[in-house]
Structure formats: C-alpha cells, structure tokens
Amino acid sequence: MTQGTGHGEDGDRDRSPEEAALSDRLGNLDQRLSEFRDRRAKTEQPAGDDGDKAARASAMALGFRLSSELIAGVAVGAGIGWGFDHLLSTSPFGFIAFLLLGFIAGVVNVVRTAGAGPNRRGGS
C-alpha cells in the first residue's frame, strides 16, 4: 500500500506530474553531483609519496619562515628598546615601546609573506 492521500494507485497518478518532474530533476542532480565528485577525486589524488612529501616540506618551510619573521621582528624591537633604555636610563619604557613596534613589524612581515596584504616589494 502506498503512503499519501490513501487513494491508492489512482491517487498517485492524479498528483504525479509535478512530483515526477521533481523526482526526475533530483535524480539528474544526484547523477551530476556524483560525476562531479568522481572527477574531483581523480584530479585531487596525490601524485604519490614524492609529491606529498614535497608539499609537506614546502608547507613546513613556509611555516618556519613565517614564524621566524615574527620572532625576528619582536627580537629586534626588544633589542633596540633595551639599547635605548640602557643608554638613556628610561627603563622600561623604551623596551616596552620598541617591543610593541617590533611585534607590529613582525605581524606586517608575516601578512606580506603570506600574501594576505599589500605587497610593496616588487612592482613597476
């Protein structure tokens, strides 16, 4: 027995055109989605262990570069601040100010290196 209005098969035939069209469209969409997933899975397969290792090494190199950019900015700012405090006897104000400036410079360098901000290193 069919679910629905309780009219049996005759009731299903009476309300069928819109539902049949919708069912056909859903089936077509499902088929197209499965084809798309198959194509995508084929193109995204790794090129083997060598390609995967190279991608990991490249990502690690970028990570180390970004972290060293940030650490270098903070360290240089702290060093300059400590130097000013030592020479001018303004401890700890120079250290704090230049530490913050170094942090800001490090973050700007990380953003530039990552490609998320404006890149002013090259150009026309």
- Express each pLDDT in 55-113 by its tens digit: 888 889 989 999 999 999 999 999 999 999 999 998 899 999 999 999 999 999 999 98
Q: Are 66 and 31 in the same domain?
A: no
Q: Are 34 and 88 in the same domain?
A: no
In degrees, rounded to 5, the angle at the alpha carbon of residue 83 between the alpha carbons of residues 79 and 84 is 120
**What is the pTM assigned to this prediction?**
0.51
In a domain, 2, yes or no: no
How is residue 120 written in tokens? 């002013």
In a domain, 58, yes or no: yes
Query: Number of folded domains in the chain?
Result: 2
- Express each pLDDT in 23-54 by its tens digit: 889 999 999 999 988 888 877 765 555 668 88
Domain hosting 15: range is 9-43
Alpha carbon 14 to chain centroid distance? 51
Q: Are 54 and 105 in the same domain?
A: yes
In a domain, 72, yes or no: yes
- What is the rounded CA–CA span in Å between residue 95 and residue 102? 10
Q: Are 65 and 36 in the same domain?
A: no
In a domain, 1, yes or no: no
